[in-house]
Structure 1
Amino acid sequence: MTLSSSSAGTLPTQLEIWQKTLSWQPTEDQLAQFQRLYEHILEANQQLNLTRITEPLEFWEKHLWDSLAGIASMLRLEALAEETALQPMQGIDIGTGAGFPGVPVAIARPHWTVTLTDSTRKKITYLEKLTADLGLMNTRTVVGRAETLGQEKQHRDRYDLAMIRAVGPASVCAEYTLPLLRVGGLAVLYRGQWSEEDTKALEPAVETLGGEVASVESWATPLTGGVRNCLYLRKVGPTPREFPRLPGVPTQRPL
């Protein structure tokens, strides 16, 4: 399918696709926040080069839908719960860049708190303005590298959910995420192609970090049929104190 829009600059609502694929639909207020997010990024993109994905349908699929597909099982579970039974969660988005997946998750789950982290001060300054303009009261921003945050008391063992869409070896992403989680917490690693052999190769590193591969979910994106995978790593025990290693070491010497 060719991505195009008869209303340039306006995101599609796609309520039926949201419901069919994720068992969730945005409210009118959330649709308005998605639209403002899109407009904000298009404007800032001229100075900050945040994303090459700027067409409305492509932005909807590759940034909004893709971000929330990673938490689809949680959306489905919460769709079955009473409003009063919804549990607040502490989430962290590592290397958030332009705010994905963290900002769409914060919009969709207002009862969660999402910490947006990036090592680039300029991007975090932008995200502070963005989240203020969107009226998001459930986000925090932190400048820092994952290797450093994972050794800091205010972040280590603190989160229920750690998300990472960064490109890089999965073992590196595991070393970035698992130290930040409480025991029982879940890391979500957004990936493109993935295989059973990749899972088997990853398992020893995850075990070293106090985790296990809980599941691997595969799907096709709803408009273009692109292949996407998400790895879900459950933290089942403490992460040894030496992890994460010093900045740069995980990428130079992956587990």
Structure 2
Amino acid sequence: MEYFDIMNSACSDVGLSMDNKIYEKFIDYKELIKFWNEKVNLTAIIDDEQIIKKHFIDCIKIFKFSPLKEAKSIIDVGTGAGFPGIPIKIVKPDVNMILLDSLNKRINFLNEVINKIDLKNITTIHGRAEDFSRKSEYREKCDAAVSRAVANLAVLSELCIPYVRVGGYFVAMKGPSVDDEIKEGKNAVSILGGKIEDIVKIEIENSDLNHNLVIIKKVKETPKVYPRKAGTAAKKPLK
């Protein structure tokens, strides 16, 4: 129970609760990350405490944006090792979660995590974000999209906003300095049917780590021409 108190404190800070069962899921998840990381490049962070703070607590803090607690369906675009989707699912088990990633090795890892820590109503998708948001069963079907992927806001918005229903949210997890990205991505967000509603500052317990949540509300339908074909958003971001 070495990290229980700090994780409990993080949950309390965002209005959620931590119990032994939830905590054990996180610890099992941590061990799976460390085991799989030896054969699949999941993360450069392999120290126990750093995994807890920089990955798990960092992801739990997404609930600083409290309307996310009301979301019944969330898609995590470019989930990688499951961040923030799996921590969200562990602390909010009633949400329907979709984890999307383009690398099959990571999907295999995520499927093992889901199986080993017994998560329900969670789906993995192997593919490009641009391809699946064109399918009618995914397009504008989710209450929220979340992403901690490394891409600028204009690119991420084109990959994520098409999944969100009108009235829902795209929450982008960003580093401490986002002002330039927001300035450069504001028009792209608008083109895609979104509106930047808020920037929420996040601090991590017992550390000097901090970041921002960029809150984008879906205010109108995404034009059918978006997203453009795979790879275009990164090469020619919307301006």
Structure 2 counterpart of 1:193? 176
Determine if the alignment matches structure 1 residue 228 to structure 2 residue 215: no
1:46: how far off? 0.9
Structure 2 counterpart of 1:156? 139
Cα-to-partner distance string for 1:56-110 (whole Å, 9 max, x where unaligned): 22111111111111122338x85xxxxxxxx561101111111111001010111
1:188: how far off? 0.8
Distance in 2 separating the partners of 1:172 and 1:111: 30
- Aligned 8 A contact 2:75 2:98 in 1: yes
Distance in 2 separating the partners of 1:133 and 1:11: 21
Structure 2 counterpart of 1:54? 46
- Aligned 8 A contact 2:146 2:170 in 1: yes
- Secondary structure at 1:47's aligned position in 2? coil
Paired residue for 1:128, among 111, 136, 142? 111
Partner amino acid for 2:28?
Answer: R
Distance in 1 separating the partners of 2:4 and 2:43: 19
Distance in 1 separating the partners of 2:23 and 2:215: 28
1:197: how far off? 4.6
Of residues 186-195 and 99-108 in structure 1, the stretch that sits farther from structure 2 once superposed is 186-195
Structure 2 counterpart of 1:82? none
Structure 1 counterpart of 2:90? 107
Determine if the alignment matches structure 1 residue 213 to structure 2 residue 196: yes
Partner amino acid for 1:217?
Answer: V
Partner amino acid for 2:39?
Answer: Q
TM-score (norm: length of structure 1):
0.87
- Aligned 8 A contact 2:97 2:121 in 1: yes
Cα-to-partner distance string for 1:123-159 (whole Å, 9 max, x where unaligned): 1112111101100012111111111111111111110
- Secondary structure at 2:215's aligned position in 1? strand
**Residue-pair matches, total:** 238
Determine if the alignment matches structure 1 residue 40 to structure 2 residue 32: yes
1:40/1:11 CA distance change after superposition, 3 Å: farther
1:19: how far off? 4.7
TM-score (norm: length of structure 2):
0.93
Cα-to-partner distance string for 1:108-131 (whole Å, 9 max, x where unaligned): 111101101101111111211110
Structure 1 counterpart of 2:236? 253
Which consecutive segments of 4 or more residues in structure 1 shift more than 6 A?
A: none
Structure 2 counterpart of 1:143? 126
Partner amino acid for 2:203?
Answer: A
Distance in 1 separating the partners of 2:7 and 2:144: 26
Paired residue for 1:177, among 160, 163, 175? 160
Distance in 2 separating the partners of 1:202 and 1:88: 25
1:88/1:170 CA distance change after superposition, 3 Å: closer
Of residues 214-223 and 25-34 in structure 1, the stretch that sits farther from structure 2 once superposed is 214-223
Partner amino acid for 2:207?
Answer: T
1:35/1:242 CA distance change after superposition, 3 Å: same
Partner amino acid for 2:122?
Answer: T
Distance in 1 separating the partners of 2:7 and 2:38: 30
Structure 2 counterpart of 1:95? 78
- Structure 2 unaligned residues grouped into runs of 5+: none
1:242/1:43 CA distance change after superposition, 3 Å: same
Distance in 2 separating the partners of 1:88 and 1:220: 23
1:210/1:65 CA distance change after superposition, 3 Å: same
- Structure 1 unaligned residues grouped into runs of 5+: 1-6, 79-86
- Aligned 8 A contact 1:182 1:235 in 2: yes
